[in-house]
Amino acid sequence: MNLIVTLRSQEQYLRFQARGRWEYNDALTLAYQVKAAGLRTGQSHVLIDLREVHSSPLVEGKFLVWDRLRRVLPSDYKVAVLAPVELVDLQERQIPGAASVVLFANERAATLWLDGVTEAGRKNPPAVLRSEGQVAGKET
């Protein structure tokens, strides 16, 4: 793994900040790091920031973040991913018992979703925000 991943345990969620060059198997390694940190801290809400990650010249296609997170993490995990939409795999396929993973374009929307609040101040975000494969909080 060529990524530099830092972890901060914040009050409501775990925050993973990744920087560097993304290579094959980095998504699986990151998913297991998230699971291990969640088990250590007892937290199941996670923010993963991939905005400072770039693709290795040897890697073709999108990062398999969705697939790996949803396969590794149990259903009680709620994961907000900050990343450019063109870099990650947005799969609509549901996996029974998998974590809820949503892509966000800005950090404010992601943290509000993790807290269970939408920007309008409502509890439980609308269906478009909750469903995997959607980009939520995209600024225009």
Give 70-117 as a DSSP string: HHHSBTT-EEEEE--GGGB-------TTBPEEEEESSHHHHHHHHHTB
Say if residues 130 and 100 touch (Cβ distance below 8 Å).
yes
pLDDT tens per residue across all 140 residues of the chain: 677 888 887 778 999 999 999 888 899 999 999 999 999 999 999 999 999 998 877 777 788 888 899 889 999 999 999 998 888 887 666 677 888 898 898 999 999 999 887 555 444 444 334 334 444 544 43
Could you tell me the domains of the chain? 3-136 (3.30.750.24)
Handedness of CA 105, 77, 12, 54 (dihedral sign): negative
How does strand 14-22 pair with strand 3-9? antiparallel
Strands ordered across the beta sheet of 3-9: 3-9, 14-22, 45-55, 78-82, 100-104, 135-136
